[in-house]
Amino acid sequence: MAVLFAAPALGGALFGYDIGATSGALVSLKSAVHSGAPWASSLTPLQSGAVVSASLAGALAGSAAAFTLGDKIGRKGELVAAGALYSAGAVATGGASSLPLLLLGRATYGLGIGLAMHAAPAYVAETAPATVRGLLISLKEGFIVGGILAGFLASAAAVDSDGGWRLIWGAAAVPGLLLAAGAFLATPESPRWLLLAGKGKAAAREALRKARGRGCPDSASLEAELEEMSSSSEGESNNGESSAAAPPPPTLSDLVSVPRFRRPLFLGLGLVVAQQVTGQPSVLYYAPDVFASAGFAAGSQAASVAAGLGLFKLVATGVAVATVDKVGRRPLLIGGVATMSAALAVLAAAQQAATVAAAASASAGGAAAAVAVAAAASDASPPLASWVAVAALLTYVGAYQVSFGPITWLLVGEIFPLAARGRAAALATLTNFGANAAVSLALPPLQAAAGPSATYALFSVVAAASAVLIAGNVPETKGKTLEEIEAIFSESSREE
């Protein structure tokens, strides 16, 4: 089973690494003392934002490319290309001698992110047995979180070194090469993609045998599994051994108009949008303030707090990995998102209480009173509201990591019909990064106008609405083959 999982997991870890490493690398890049690049220490806020978002722009472009190329080069081909782009981008970023070259390197790395995040869930879903499919795709999310933690640790270790940003970003070059080489040499192609691409049953049978490895079932069981796969493929010939030309993939118009494509497409897109508009890139914006109010130093302890939060996310993801194929997708998703909503409501109330208390202290009267309040505060423990806010924030993070975090991408890998999986998954990936960019753009003015309490309250309402919509629209896919899941949507489309 490791041969199926190694390349997608490494692709996810390298995506997470960029998330965790970038904040520390940017601090090092702009440092007048440690940067080692005179052009970098005077970056404007707009240029700094461009450095951070260049990989997101590349990921958007990579997702768009996957829509056209994904079904042509296959899941394995995408993973090979992703590894090469990761490595080239890391080398270019770490060796950049100017801002344009740095942006080019970041965008190249982002292209690898777009391809890897498209290929990984589809590949694991198409090759893993139904009994462990949820575990493996959820575990890939765990590797993303592990990559974030590794990025935090790399930043903490190198941020104060001369040219530390080159080490932080450049360190991804070697694992990128390992991904490309491992995917090319050791990763079997998806047997379902081989059937879809018109490569025939013989090639699919050999790929399936490699995918099952030492635990390969007997020939009769293998043939039964292959026959079920081929029943939904549109690229086989009548005799099943030699194939006709592969049919053209569905167009965008087909995806939104054909009933058996439309429902899973809209469900998948809805999940990735909900993941972003209730997600941690936005909610955790105020996390440093929440921890600071509980007594954590904003400077010296910031890296330790970030790493501790990353470790907590990893542990919470482990809960999802251990339970998703036992408890099921629906209970974890509905329960987790409902818990997110409740935690956000508590966080909003705690933040509002802290704001009111601070305002009351400030208006207590006169300079002498302010000095007395400040002196008392310096000796007192953080107020109860601050610790409630910390507990609510951690509850939110844990609930996200057992629900939206892993299960969104698990369902994206499962619910699309084989004929549409490549392009529908590309649209989901593109929508994910697009929603991420939109939220990142809209959030600062929202936060400036409304403040943290109202922002958390808004996210709580959105999460509650998401839980209701999930309960009414997401089917349980635990233990079902991809063909059985496809039949669920085909049956529901006939009822429309």
- Distance in angstroms (rounded) separating the CA atoms of residues 147 and 156: 14
Structure tokens at 470: 């999930």
DSSP string, 421-462: HHHHHHHHHHHHHHHHHHHHHHHHHHHHHHHHHHHHHHHHHH
How many other C-beta atoms are found inside a 10 Å radius of the C-beta of residue 470?
Answer: 24
Q: For 329-351, give the DSSP string.
A: HHHHHHHHHHHHHHHHHHHHHHH
Whole-angstrom Cα distance, residue 430 to residue 424?
Answer: 10
pLDDT (0 to 100) of residue 387 = 83
The residue ranges of the chain whose pLDDT is under 50 are 235-243, 298-300, 368-380
| Measured distance CA(398)–CA(456) in Å, rounded | 16
Residue 51 gets which letter from DSSP? H
Determine contact, residues 53/332, Cβ cutoff 8 Å: no
Residue positions counted in the chain: 496
User: Could you tell me the pTM of the whole model?
Assistant: 0.82
**Closest Cα to residue 350, out of 412, 395, 297?**
395
Place of tokens 């025939």: 200
Q: What is the pLDDT of residues 242-301, one digit of tens each?
A: 445 566 788 989 999 988 899 999 999 999 999 988 867 667 656 666 776 666 654 445
Angle at 104 between CA 102 and CA 109, to 5 degrees: 95
How much is the pLDDT for 273?
93
Nearest to 456 by CA among 399, 393, 388: 393
pLDDT of residue 446: 80
Q: Detail the DSSP E strand segments found in 36-91.
A: none
pLDDT at 304 (0 to 100):
63
Residue 378 has a pLDDT of: 42
pLDDT on residue 493: 63
